[in-house]
Structures are given as C-alpha cells and as structure tokens.
Amino acid sequence: MGKKIDYDVIIIGGGAAGVTAARNLAKAKKHVAIVEERKLGGANLNYRDIPYAAALNFSHLYTEAMAGVKFGITSTNLRYNYPTALKAQLRAIVKSGENYTKKSLEDEGITCIAGRAHFVSAHEISIRKRTTASPTIEEVKAGLAGQTLTANKFLIATGAVPKISGITGLNEAKHYTPETILKIEKLPKSMLVIGGGASGVEIAEYFAGLGVKVVLVELAERLLPREDEEVGQLLAAHLEKKLGVKILTKTRAVAAQSDTISTKITLSHGGQEKTVRVECVVAAVGSEPNTDLGLKNAGVRYDKKGIYVEKSLQTTAKNIYAAGDVIGGDSATELANYEAGVAAANIVGKNRNMVNYNGFTRVVNTNPQIATVGMTEDDLMKRDVKYGKALLPLSAVSAAATSEQKLGFIKMLSNNQGKILGTTLMCPNAAAYLQEVALCVRHGLSVVEIASTPHLNTEWGELVRLAAKKLV
C-alpha cells in the first residue's frame, strides 16, 4: 500500500454486531477501531429492541390490568401517564447502554470514531460527519473527504435502514418510522400503520392498547404473511375484537398529503380508491441493508438484498467481512451477535468457522407472543417436503383454565425420522417456552427427546411436550 497501516481491523458500525466483534478482536490483541455514524449501540439499543421491550411491557401491563375486572380487580378508574412511560423507555436505554459507552469500549482497547465511513479501496476508508454525503473518489484524492484510515482487515456491520415506501408524497408528508414512533411526545387520537409485518403489528397493538384509534394496512392477504396462516388469522381477531384495530388487507397505500392538523392517505383495494384522514402515519414497510459505503471501490459484491458473503462471512474482497442485517436475512440481535463472533474468529484465524443458522428463534412481541423456530408449514409446502404435523390449541393444557389467555396454538412439524423441521407457538412468553425446540433443531434431536422430558403441568410449556408426543 505504500504507507503505514493504522489498524489491524476497522469495524464499520457500532451496533450489536460491531461491538461484539470489536470486543472479541480486542481480546485477541488486535488493534481495533469502530466507526459509527449515529449512536453506539445501534438500532438494538437506541431504536428497536430495548425501547420496544420497555414500551410493549408498559402497554401489555396496562391492557391486562384493564381486563382484570374478570378476576375481581376493579379497574374502572385506572389511568396511565404517558410521559412517565416515555421516561421508562429512556431509563431502559440508559441502563442497557452502559455496555456501549465510548469509555467502556476504549477501556478495552477499542478506538471509537464518530462519522460516516466510505471505502476508497479494499484497505482504506474516508470518514465524514453524518450530515454530509458520501464522498467521491475525486474528493478523496483531493483531500476533501475528511479523515482517512487504513486497516489490514474490515468488518462491515452497518445494519439496515427503513425501506423507502414508494408512496407518493409521503416523504413530504409528516410521518414516522418504527425507529421514531415510540419517541412521539403526545399520543395522537388516530393513527394509520402501513405494513402488517412484525413491526407494524407491534406498533398497532401498542398504540391501540393505549386508546389510539388505529387503522392497519397490509398489502398481502393476511397479517404477518411470512408466518403460517393461523398466526395472521388469530392475531387479526385479537387486534380487531380486543383492541378495536381496523385491519385492511390486500390494500396498498398509494399517496399521502399533510396539512397542519392531519394527514390524508389514499388507499387502493381491488381497483377502488378511498381516503383516510388520521393524525399520525407510521410507515412500517420493512428495512433494507445499509450498503451506501462505496463498496464497489473495495471490490465488495452486493445487491438490494445485502452484501454477498461466504459461509465464513467473508465478502468478495478477501480482507473484508460482513455481519448482521447488512447481509440480509432475519433481523435479530442474537443472530447479529452470533455472526459477529464467527466473523471475528475468522478474521483472527483462517476462515475455518462457518455459520449455522439452525435453531434461531423468530419473535413477534405481541400479546400473546408469537415465536417460530425452523420452517413454517408454508415453507415446507413450497419446497414440496413431506412432513408430519401436530396442531394443538391453548385449551389443550391446564394453563388455559387459570388464565384469560385463550388465543393461541402450537404447531410442530417433523420429518419421518422424527426430527423437528419447525415449530410455531403463540402464547404468553412463547419464545421462552420454545427454547427446548431450538435446542433440538440446532442439534438434530428428535421429538422423542421432548416427549419423554417431564414438563410442568400448569405451564404453557406443556404444549410443547404434548405436540411432540402427538408426533411420536
């Protein structure tokens, strides 16, 4: 390269994946730097996991307390203080953020650099403040691109950004995204949520539970189109009957226009158009990998689905790795952390570690919670895979008799050797009860292991054992 290398490894992105990898590399005695253009901790800490966990916990607690009259609890005068709820979110972020501070990372030997990284070549990046556009090669050569740094190896962990909706006028109209809506300081009287995926249904349930009139629009035939049909049907019934959410499926939002009071959204369904006027609009149409990094300059292959990587998480540039949402696939902090660990080990070693995605749990944090491990029945039918199925309602276990929660089910799928192909569970704390299934999927265990393991009779986890027993 003709000049001194500044770092052994530079990590672009200071979220969950980036920080995990940096710590692993620092422990391996590598000279490491993290470049982050927004806030350390990334979406996990600042915009998604932690804020949503705090907010949904508050909303679920309130709605359950309101329903407590069936158990003899008087709740007619129950109220909530929304500013206090916002402060609880902030406390959760501050507490969780203690592991993501600049000082804590620098105490571990990790250099933290604020700015936006842009590749000049496979071994060099330029760094600008976030408010400026990505520099051109000409600007870099002319010394106009700000600080430049070099490294032997790089890890790209820039995550994802909200997807552009394609709705005419939405950029000019007042609207929110899943990253910004929880920070709204005053609850609106009415809200339209565009997108019936995981983020969309969580947002709809949260605000409807607090008394906001919510309209939820989804282009597909059902909510949560990625999940099995039963999930979308039951969740729609829950949102409509319990919380009063108006659900419009097979409907597209095509245009938006705001005035000082409200926003008018034009919706298209079956060739017919109508308008809805609400105080607040949330575009929850998904996210896309954040690849605006000058990747072509570094010889890194990518497309709209994300950066292309081998199973070792090495990109087409041999000294550059990538992990987390920027490579596409499921979006989950535990998955990003896992990929970061694999990438860091391969940066230190010789690419002998390969990713294994078996056993990761996909979660929708509604109440009841929805958790999925492995493939859904839809997945198997599309692949023409033969399978056995056990489908049980919540009423199959005694926990249903001691709870007001009647909405939910378990569906467990296995092959003819008894190996679990996938399981969907819809019940309170579903993700926790599904961990034993994740263990079986990860390590190739069969339904026999679950069916022969004692489970507490009064807990929802008994559903897992009964489903496995049925498949045996």
- 61-99: per-residue pLDDT in tens? 888 777 766 667 776 677 888 888 888 888 888 787 778
Q: Among residues 355, 365, 420, which one has the least CA distance to residue 50?
A: 365
Per-residue pLDDT, 76? 65
Looking at the structure, tell me whether residues 366 and 461 fall in a common domain.
yes
Which pTM was predicted? 0.90
The backbone torsions φ and ψ at residue 354, rounded to the nearest 5 degrees and listed phi first, read: -120, 145
| Range scoring the smallest mean pLDDT among 16-20, 25-29, 143-147, 467-471 | 143-147
244: left (phi over 0), alpha (psi -120 to 50) or beta: left
| 3-state SS, residue 448 | helix
Looking at the structure, tell me whether residues 150 and 298 fall in a common domain.
yes
The residue among 321, 348, 375 that closes a domain is: 348
List, in order, residues 6 or more apart from 162 with CB less than 8 Å away: 177, 178, 179, 283, 285, 286, 287
Q: Does the pLDDT of residue 214 top 90, yes or no?
A: yes
Neighbours of 395 (CB within 10 A): 12
Per-residue pLDDT, 2? 54
260: containing domain: 181-285
Looking at the structure, tell me whether residues 205 and 269 fall in a common domain.
yes
Residues 115-145 as b or e (16 or more Cβ within 10 Å = b):
bbbbbbebbbbbbbeeeeeebeeebbeeeeb
Confidence of residue 447 (pLDDT cuts 50, 70, 90): very high
DSSP 8-state assignment for residue 223 = S
Q: Report yes or no: 363 and 370 within 8 Å, Cβ to Cβ.
A: yes
Looking at the structure, tell me whether residues 367 and 343 fall in a common domain.
no
Confidence of residue 144 (pLDDT cuts 50, 70, 90): very low
Strands 369-374 and 388-393: unpaired
Looking at the structure, tell me whether residues 86 and 105 fall in a common domain.
no
C-alpha dihedral, 367 to 372 to 377 to 381, nearest 10°: 130
Express each pLDDT in 344-367 by its tens digit: 999 999 878 999 999 999 999 999
Between the alpha carbon of residue 358 and those of residues 107, 382, 472, the distances in Å are 35, 19, 22
Q: Cis before residue 368, ω within 30 degrees of 0?
A: yes
Looking at the structure, tell me whether residues 198 and 262 fall in a common domain.
yes
- Name the helix (H) or strand (E) containing 116: strand 116-121
The number of folded domains in the chain is 4
The backbone torsions φ and ψ at residue 121, rounded to the nearest 5 degrees and listed phi first, read: -155, -175
| 2 alpha-carbon distance from chain centroid | 42
Neighbours of 275 (CB within 10 A): 10
Average pLDDT across the chain, whole number: 90
How many residues in total does the chain contain?
472
Looking at the structure, tell me whether residues 191 and 255 fall in a common domain.
yes
Cα–Cα distance measured from residue 375 to residue 45, given in angstroms and rounded to the nearest whole number = 28
Express each pLDDT in 158-183 by its tens digit: 999 888 778 999 888 889 999 999 98
Provide the CB-side half-sphere exposure for 223 (13 A, CA): 32
Q: Report yes or no: 147 and 127 within 8 Å, Cβ to Cβ.
A: yes
Residue with tokens 């679950």: 450
Residue 317 in domain: yes
Provide the CATH number for the domain around residue 30. 3.50.50.60
Residue 422 in domain: yes
Cα–Cα distance measured from residue 225 to residue 218, given in angstroms and rounded to the nearest whole number = 9
Residue 166 in domain: no
The backbone torsions φ and ψ at residue 147, rounded to the nearest 5 degrees and listed phi first, read: -65, 140
